[in-house]
Amino acid sequence: MTNRLLYEGKAKKVFETDHPYEVLVYFKDDATAFNGVKKGQIHSKGILNNAISSLFFELLDSRGVKSHFVKKIDERSMLVKKLKIIQIEVVVRNIAAGSLSQRIGWPEGKILPKPVLEFYLKDDALGDPLINDYHIAALGIATPQQLEHLADQSLKINAILSEHLLARKVKLVDFKLEFGMSDQEILLGDEISPDTCRFWDAETNQKLDKDRFRRDLGDVEEAYQEIYNRLKG
Ligand code: TMP
């Protein structure tokens, strides 16, 4: 059923299917960080991220969040609705870490009084800069109504995922989402995985995500596997 390669990204490939409105996403083991400066492979990452993302999309669907996810096809691929991606990366943060710690000087681990929502321009050549609603209006990449929908959905997703993960002894520190248009409708796209989220063990704060790769902490595959195991329960 798969045929032409439509697009190859840093961690995934997208293939055409026989259906004009559906594409196949194939998850690779390739890992990059710092806008592609650091490159490597994480053994079995593609299998784990496909499985983890599928579980999250199913959970969100059951709670009324519409995404591109149709079904998991095999170990490394999922069938999704074809989206025209909105050029915004939405980040939601519950605990200071990463670039937020650098930007506002809060130590990693300091709990934010309420979730912080950020928008980044999805543009590798510019290094995905932080932008606000005025930039988005100037660039014309989303209407105010669309942006409000992205914000509402992202905060709702945060609440659903945070609760689900905490019950499995994982803190959802922060995460990145992408959205796209499918027939006039905004759907959640991309993936939700240890590549795109920060997950910390609820008791020890041990990092169970891509920061282990970014920061050379070792046991990267084990961390991804641990997240899958806890979600599978
Ligand atoms: P940051 O602290 O580096 O800005 O990252 C915030 C969250 O976004 C973190 O969970 C990792 C995720 N993220 C991506 O998924 N892709 C990216 O390119 C970056 C920079 C972060």
User: Would strands 77-81 and 22-27 be described as parallel, antiparallel, or unpaired?
Assistant: antiparallel
pLDDT at position 3: 82
Q: Residue 19 C-alpha to ligand 1 middle, in angstroms?
A: 32
Residue 119 CA to residue 133 CA, distance in Å, equals 8
Integer Cα distance of 125 and 225 in angstroms: 32
What's the CA gap between 198 and 208, in Å, rounded?
A: 7
Strand 130-131 and strand 5-8: the pairing is: unpaired
Taking only the tens place, the pLDDT of each residue in 24-63 is 999 999 999 999 999 999 999 999 999 999 999 999 999 9
Ligand 1 centroid to 175 CA: how many Å?
6
- Residue with CA nearest ligand 1 atom 7: 175
What is the pTM for the complete model shown?
Answer: 0.98
Q: Which residues of the chain have pLDDT under 50?
A: none
